[in-house]
Chain A
Amino acid sequence: MSDPSILIATTDLIKRYGENIAVNHVSFEVHAGEVFGFLGPNGAGKTTTIKILVGLLQPSSGKVMVAGYDVQTQPLQAKAASGYVPDTPNLYAKLTGRELLRFVGDLYDLKRDQLEHRLDELLRTFDLTVAANDTIDSYSHGMQQKISLAAALVHDPKVLVLDEPTVGLDPKSARLIKDILRQMADRGAAVFLSTHILEIAERMCDRIGIINKGELIAVGTMDELRSLGKTGGASLEDIFLSLTGGAEVAEIAEILK
């Protein structure tokens, strides 16, 4: 990867589970300052791709570069540059929110005085200051989602990967997250997020990739996708359904109305 503005790049990514191919020859790039939306039906391979990007899964073949580092051969450098928010926030239930953030800061080898300052800032941003000293098992799903995002931001990553970040969040928190992601992109980070909420993808993402049955079937801006789907002026929902074969379902739903 020669272009320094490319912060995520996958080349011919394949992940097999026995006979099943979860991710099949997936190649894309995400640039600095870009919010990239990753869409696809259930079981299309979104989470598998994301887990490969952040080093939680080894690909069967192919290459993943994050912030200029190969995730397989330079995993520590790649991980140091990225932050990850999973779809289900499985966190240490017996740590307090503050302790979790401090622990994550230690894992990223942050200096203690800087870290404490950063923790206060993040806790304030996510409206978690009051609950900061409660153990996470007393947090609601939304609070766990927020502390999980705060943990991903502790080290101010260049690349942020989020799997369904707005699930279970109230409108205020969802808006806050959208604003934070936009700000990060504006500061030069690459934000890669998967979502089922097409409205979020349409409004937030600079470019969108659509994956279906493990294959990346479309990548581009909204305008490029419209031209690809030959659905001029259509919404992302129409494009998504026409590309993933769900258009007939929409037609049936229309008849049922």
Chain B
Amino acid sequence: MNSTTLPASRFLPSVWKLLRLRMRISLNSFRHARIRAKIGILILAIAVLVFAAVCFYLSWLLLSFLRSPQLVRFTGVDPAPFLTVVPVLIFTGLFLGILLSSFGVLLQALYLSGDMDFLLTSPVPIRAVFVMKLMQAVLPNFGLFALFGLPVLYGLGISGGYNFLYYPLVILTMILLALTAAGVSALIVMLVARLFPPRRVAELLGFVGATLSILCSQFGSLTRLYQPGRDIAGNQVDALFNGLTKLNTPWLPLNWAGRGLVELGQGHWLSGILLVGLTLGLCGTIFWFTLITAERWYYTGWASMQVVARRSKPRSQARSSPAHRSDLATPFKLILPTPVRGILSKDFLVLRRDLRNLSQLVTPLIFGIIYSLVYLQAVGRSSPDSTDMPAWLISSFRSLLVYGNVGLALLVGWTLLNRLAGMSFSAEGRSYWILKASPVHTSHLLIAKFLVAYLPAFGLGGFFLVGLSILQHVSVVSFVYSLLVVLMCLAGLNGIMLAFGVAGANLSWEDPRRMNAGIKGCMGSIVAVAALPITFGLFVGPLWIAAALNLPAIYGYLAGGVLGGAVSAFCTLFPPWVVRGKVARLGEA
């Protein structure tokens, strides 16, 4: 397909045609959705509108308050210079946010979506396909930024009494900045796609993105750990205000949009028109450049991808040959039937090889490390040796600390089970027919899936338990009992989540991150979390009661082991037994 031979006048009608197709697909999806889903979408739309209105109202109130002369008189600080930075911050955030967040979405939309064969063989200019893909990819992120940014910018305009030109120009600037950011992002995507296989880049991106987001989300815990008791002081707020105000330099092109709009709003026509005009001109130029480059790069990159995907790699996987093969299920050769071992080997190989899966599996490890540090710090600071406390209370407190290790091991295990047990059947996806058409007994399939989730969860939970117990010099008896608690509780959680995973199995996903499509999978986690305190309490409660009644600890261990063990065994066996019939019917929608 060569778009240069097509008249330029066909470009815009083609974009419109493709966008209309998208809208038609969305409309049809809505039309054919269940009533429940339709009501959900309508409620969501109303909630978004209400949220935007509330944001606008709060921004207006807050910004009016910050502009009040009384506040300046009372605090002695004039926030007006900071307020002029707000649009600069929002536009910079919008540009950088879309630039970064679009990369993965554009990679998927431009190279990995299923409609590319159809679109690239249709008599539509490639530029139009590119623009449609760009808009399709950028729209959700743009909507999110607009939802938060637009009410603040309009609130700022109304509270500052800006003139009417400010309001439409805010929207126009937002759209152009978003398209420019997406265009630059698309150029990077096309460059990367020429150098590396897009599928592998998408996997790597998923892994890095998920790991980074978990690390960032947990960063607060670590910061609090190493800077305990530090609150934000007034002078820090001042320093922050000053720092942000200094960022508002006219030399940064990203600041021109925000500065120009404020100038226009305040009636400084010359500087305002100059800055906004420069921004719009620059955006237009960059966007035009991306369109021209896309025309040259996009098709060749996409076409080369078709070749790369089919290129043979004879030596890269040589270790999978029989001579070098390490069977991951070999340790179970004597106790497990061959089909169960086969499924175990297969699942562990698939989990290990797909980076997108791996990102979900790294989460518990990060959780474990961070919360172990937090926990050890907390234990180090607390002292139960107060002479005012009764002996049984001191003993209970100590055992609470000991079983804090168990709690942490269970948290790590539960996080891992969420992915492995909750999605054990969904993970099969469209390949489930292989298992279903083969002579594998349902119970064997359930055992295999149980072990695929349980072994890593118990391994990781046990690892943290051993580490923390050694660091805390826990007695051998307490450690053995703790290990039993983790072993049994995780088995119970696994049974519950596995059963809900069967009930809500989704075998039609394309992206592993979207395996858990149904509400039943989430329900599994919730029910498991609700069951955990009960089983944990049944294991640990009798120990405290025995200590409170001055009975020998062995009674507590025995009672706890029997009660907690019985409930855990019930949770392990009963839920999978209930859904065994459903396993045989999976994939028969």
Q: Using CB atoms and an 8 Å cutoff, list the residues of chain A in contact with chain B.
A: 54-58, 75-77, 79-80, 82, 84, 86, 90-92, 94-96, 98-99, 102-110, 116, 130-135, 137-140, 151
Contact = CB atoms under 8 A, between A and B. Distances in A.
Contacts of A79: 437-439
Given A103-B346, A134-B312, A96 B434 contact: no
Nearest to A54: B437
Interface in B408-437: 429-431, 433-437
B296 interface: no
Contact of A55 (B199, B342, B434, B436): B436
Contacts of B320: 96, 98-99, 133
Contacts of B313: 134, 138
Contact of A92 (B317, B338, B346, B439): B346
B257 to A, nearest CB: 43
Contacts of B317: 96, 133-135
A95 B346 contact: yes
Given A104-B438, A106-B343, 18 more contacts: A55-B436, A57-B588, A58-B585, A92-B431, A95-B346, A95-B350, A96-B320, A104-B434, A106-B345, A107-B434, A109-B339, A109-B439, A130-B312, A134-B313, A135-B353, A137-B199, A139-B310, A151-B434
Main secondary structure of the interface of B (DSSP, over half): helix
Interface in B160-207: 199
A94 B526 CA distance: 31
B419 to A, nearest CB: 16
A99 B310 CA distance: 19
Contacts of A95: 346, 349-350
Contacts of B338: 106, 109-110
Contacts of B321: 98, 132-133
Contacts of A82: 437
B435 A94 contact: no
Contacts of A99: 320, 346, 349
Nearest to B445: A107
Nearest to A110: B338
Contacts, number: 110
Contacts of A94: 349-350, 353-354
Contacts of B588: 56-58
Nearest to A105: B342
Contacts of B339: 106-109
Query: Nearest 6 A-B pairs (CB), nearest first?
Result: A106-B342, A90-B430, A80-B439, A107-B438, A79-B439, A94-B353
A176 to B, nearest CB: 19
A133 B314 contact: yes
B377 to A, nearest CB: 40
A151 B314 CA distance: 20
Nearest to A90: B430
6 contacts: A54-B437, A84-B433, A104-B434, A116-B322, A138-B309, A138-B310
B439 A77 contact: yes
Contacts of B587: 56
Contacts of B312: 130-131, 134, 138
Interface in B294-317: 309-314, 316-317
Contacts of B342: 102-103, 105-107
